[in-house]
Structure 1
Amino acid sequence: MNKKIQPPLGLVDHNNLKTGEEILSTINYEMFPDEKNLLIKKGNYLVISTDFYSKMKKKRRLTQSEYPLTALPWIINQIENGFFKKKDEGGFSNFERSITAEFSEETIGINMMVHCCAENTPGLNIWNGNRKSYISNNTPQKWDIPHYMLKNSLLEELKKIADKYS
């Protein structure tokens, strides 16, 4: 695993996009109705940007996770053909719970989750081990996605983005 920490891309202001920043889609998490989650293209990166109310800071804040766009086809393939298929269909075994790969000197990983965003809600955690969280200032940056959201439409949306930009 590459340990070099990449410099931050800089937070995307949802209401004041800069040159090279493009909103691709909105993601609605029913368990977090007060959050605004956007998929954004920023340079050669897919950014998952979240505007949320911080109970600790008592104000609205931004955070985001960043993935090289070149990793998106791999992420989609691992979800679709690894995590979502049974072993006899070519998918991962019940013992395979995570996978990693390198893209643009960044280690991208996907982990299975039993409690993703809510108790007993299966999902995936997609992470970038070479970028620090904008909140905790620790690695990795993470994006949690319940299975049902991927199956309902998000995976198809990610495929369209991959086809357009990868």
Structure 2
Amino acid sequence: MKKFAEIDSINIKKNPFVVGSAVNPNKPEYTIYLLIKDDYLFIVDCGYFTNKRTKVSKWLTYQLEMPKAGLPWIVNTIENKFFKLSHEGGLPKDVYHYAEVVDGEKLMIDRPMFLGTRENPEPGYEIHTNSRKEGRTPKSLNFTDSFLFEHGLFDLFKDVAQKIESGEFS
């Protein structure tokens, strides 16, 4: 499996592979960037963190890498497995995760109920790249429902997924 260096968070806005971004409404100092390079998609969470105790600031970056076909799979899975009832092809009652191999890598989505902030917990979705691990734990990112559906992240996912499927990023 191809390994990738961490994306440079300081210069990410100038990165020629960025195809979209969305500011996290729960943490406005953090932005999610989507990058496509060759056959891979990167979902990158970048933010400028200031330690409240020490007042020291630094850039923090976390990224998921997957085959670019993973983004259409994410959109399709949320719309057709999580949004639909079981008799419509959705997940069975009491099942809150779905995994599949996409272009040779195992991806999974689950539905945690307590994301967001301590003051305002809310449900959301967590995307795992089970084939790529940090230690023994699969790499993952989670997104609240409000970030996805009220603040445009899912629309960005859908737009970029459609462009991937139409061959725009080949």
- TM-score interval, smaller chain: 0.7 to 0.9
Q: Determine what percentage of the aligned residue pairs are the same residue.
A: 26
* Structure 1 residues 16-165: aligned runs within 5 Å: 16=11, 21-52=16-47, 53=49, 55=51, 59-119=58-118, 120-133=121-134, 137-152=135-150, 153-165=152-164
Structure 2 distance, partners of 1:14, 1:93, is 40
Describe the shift of the 1:141–1:121 C-alpha distance in structure 2 as closer, same or farther (beyond 3 A): same
Structure 1 distance, partners of 2:30, 2:73, is 27
Residues 24 and 41 in structure 1, CA contact (< 8 A), matched pair in contact too: yes
Q: How many residues align?
A: 156
Structure 2 distance, partners of 1:105, 1:159, is 22
What secondary structure sits across from 2:132 in the alignment? Answer: coil
1:8 equivalenced with 2:8 (yes/no): no
Task: Determine which structure has the larger strand proportion and give its number.
Answer: 2
Deviation for aligned residue 1:38: 1.1
Residues 51 and 63 in structure 1, CA contact (< 8 A), matched pair in contact too: yes
Which one has more relative contact order, counting CA pairs under 8 Å at least 6 apart?
1
Structure 1 distance, partners of 2:155, 2:26, is 21
Residues 125 and 142 in structure 1, CA contact (< 8 A), matched pair in contact too: yes
What secondary structure sits across from 2:81 in the alignment? Answer: helix
Q: Report Cα offsets for 1:96-150 as digits up to 9, x if no partner.
A: 11111112321100011101233531111011012234xxx55311121112333
Residues 100 and 109 in structure 1, CA contact (< 8 A), matched pair in contact too: yes
Deviation for aligned residue 1:65: 0.9
What secondary structure sits across from 1:113 in the alignment? Answer: coil
Deviation for aligned residue 1:72: 2.0
TM-score by length of 2: 0.77
Structure 2 counterpart of 1:144, one-letter code: N
The alignment yields a C-alpha RMSD, in angstroms, of: 2.5
* Alignment-derived partner of residue 3 in structure 1: none
What secondary structure sits across from 1:82 in the alignment? Answer: helix
Unaligned runs of 5+ in 1: 1-5
What secondary structure sits across from 1:132 in the alignment? Answer: strand
Deviation for aligned residue 1:13: 1.8
Residues 22 and 42 in structure 1, CA contact (< 8 A), matched pair in contact too: yes
TM-score by length of 1: 0.79
